[in-house]
Amino acid sequence: MLPILDVGLFDNNGNKSLVKLIRTFIKKYNKLPNSQEIYTSLEPVGIGGEVRDRLKFICGSPLQKMDDKYCSDMIESFYREKKFHGILVKQAEHWHNHEMDAVRAMIPEVQRVLAFSLSTNIGQEFIQDAVEMMRRLNNPEESIPTRISALSIFTNQNRDPGKFHGGYYRAAVSLIFGQPNKGKTLCMVSEGAFAIENGYNVVYITLEMGEEKIWNRLAANVTGKPHWEFFGRNEEEVAQELNDYATMVSAKIGKPYGMFRILDLPTTTTPEEINTYLDEIEAATGRKVDLLIVDYLGIAKPNKGGANGNNMFQDGVEKCEQLRDIAKKRRIAVLSAVQFNRTGYHNIFAGMENVEGSSGYNNTADLIYSLTSNDAMNENCFRMNIILKSRFGPAGKSFSTKCDFTTMRWQATTPEEEEQWQVLVKQEMEEQRALRAGGGGGKRVPVDPSIEQVSPGSTGNLRPGTSNNLLTGRKAS
């Protein structure tokens, strides 16, 4: 970088002094100075004194450990480059001397060099590696917690809330299937806010709204203040308030407050490009990402060279698989959303057959739940949620939630609100049965209205053979 680091690029006088000193040192000694050489070369007073203090602070800060994978990749690349260069030199000599048999004889050597790896990953043995497998199963950091208690229960594979919290699992893609304008973005921001308040680091990729719009929703969610109150307020005052709040939460949870990084990208963005941004964010912040939220998957594009919209089914499969590949390689959780098509717009029981665009999402995602409502539910900001697919627990479970559009929070309903919600669900069922009986067309109605559910206020449980009625919470006969 030094050849292009002109002193005039810097506004800070201390930085100017550093650049001048380093360039003079290189010119004189033909090498870069170390920190001690820079420190002793600076005057202890004036600008030099300020820079000395800054250097002392930087050099005294703990450095992040080298990543093992990065080191092994560098060693592998160095080995392959040097060995391959030697092979090319020998092959060039044989070629020049028309020794084609010798050229062909070196092909296996080329293959060995290209296949060189320091990896010792040979999988896990059932009995020999049982301790390691149990450690992974019992790791509470395997999933990012959700604010919604019912969703936590249904995805808590251990069924012990004291040990595990369920939610959004690492190395997996979770999708929200929802009707337009029902709160998918609000839901994802709210879940991201809950994650950072528990010390997890979140990257929020927005392909629709501007960064300041997502920030406004997040600020309202975290502080519990109406989102409109942030308009017109003093910027420094708000920043200090949020900083004080983060400090208080950090002391409470015993670890740093989570990072929430918002990144506005074009709708042509691919998973491969998102992965590059994650690399840059982790390198710049020194924080490892725990949860990636993409708002939203339906309008993203697959990696170049893929379906690119020519085949809608394959388009969905590729985007979802590529995101899950990122989740697996980085050991992070991925949350995104997809819209229902027109047949699911006004159907609170909409399912995977109503997804917009590609049913490839259905086949690929690890956790899918719906977010729907009708006019009656909208008046109370209620939402109907059904787990449509889950690799971490039972599917076909329903629960009620509520969208608070004042503080932008997605939250569980109270027992009283759930009773009111169940009445509205019953009314919708009766209306659809009447419509079908009259020969009208129809929305999908559950074949068995006793879908087991667990929400705050219900008496439901997850024990086999104890199904609870969706409307009453009592055991089904």
Q: In this structure, are strands 367-371 and 172-178 parallel, antiparallel, or unpaired? A: parallel
73 and 49 share one domain: no
7 and 150 share one domain: no
R_g (Cα) of the chain, nearest Å: 29
* Helices and strands per DSSP (H, E), number in the chain: 16, 11
- Tens of pLDDT along 67-125? 666 777 788 888 888 888 888 899 899 999 999 998 888 888 888 888 888 877 778 89
Asked if the structure places residue 461 within a domain, the reply is: no
- DSSP H helices, 35-148, are 35-41, 46-60, 68-96, 100-105, 107-114, 130-137
308 and 368 share one domain: yes
Asked if the structure places residue 17 within a domain, the reply is: yes
Q: How far apart are the first and last CA of the chain?
A: 75
pLDDT digits (tens), the chain, 477 positions:
666 677 777 788 888 888 888 888 888 887 888 877 888 888 877 778 888 888 877 776 555 455 666 777 788 888 888 888 888 899 899 999 999 998 888 888 888 888 888 877 778 899 999 998 998 888 888 899 999 999 999 999 876 766 778 999 999 999 999 998 899 999 999 999 999 999 999 999 999 999 999 999 999 999 999 999 999 999 999 999 999 999 999 999 999 999 999 999 999 999 999 999 999 999 888 899 999 999 989 889 998 866 544 577 888 899 999 999 999 999 999 999 999 998 888 899 999 999 988 888 999 999 999 999 999 999 999 999 999 999 999 999 999 999 999 999 999 999 999 999 999 999 999 988 888 787 655 555 444 443 444 444 333 333 333 333 333 333 433
333 and 432 share one domain: yes
56 and 73 share one domain: no
Q: What are 215's two structure tokens? A: 């920030």
Dihedral Cα 232, 234, 238, 243, nearest 10 deg: 160
367 and 421 share one domain: yes
Q: Is 204 exposed, middle or buried (0-12, 13-18, 19+ CB in 10 A)?
A: buried
Which residues have C-beta within 8 Å of that of residue 322, sequence separation ≥ 6? 270, 271, 272, 302, 303, 306
Buried residues in 369-406 as b, exposed as e (16+ CB within 10 A):
bbbbbbebbeeebbbbbbbbbbebbeeebbbbbbbbee
423 and 381 share one domain: yes
206 and 320 share one domain: yes
CA distance 375 to 472: 22
CA distance 88 to 77: 16
172 and 35 share one domain: no
Q: Rounded to 5 degrees, what angle do the CA atoms 337, 163, 200 make?
A: 45
- Beta-bridged to residue 464, according to DSSP, are none
245 and 300 share one domain: yes
Residue 417 is inside which H or E element, if any? helix 415-437
Asked if the structure places residue 446 within a domain, the reply is: no
Domain span holding position 304: 140-437
Q: In this structure, are strands 382-390 and 398-404 parallel, antiparallel, or unpaired? A: antiparallel
47 and 106 share one domain: no
For the full predicted model, state whether its pTM sits above 0.75.
no
Domains contained in the chain, number? 3
108 and 157 share one domain: no
Q: What are 452's two structure tokens? A: 């087991």
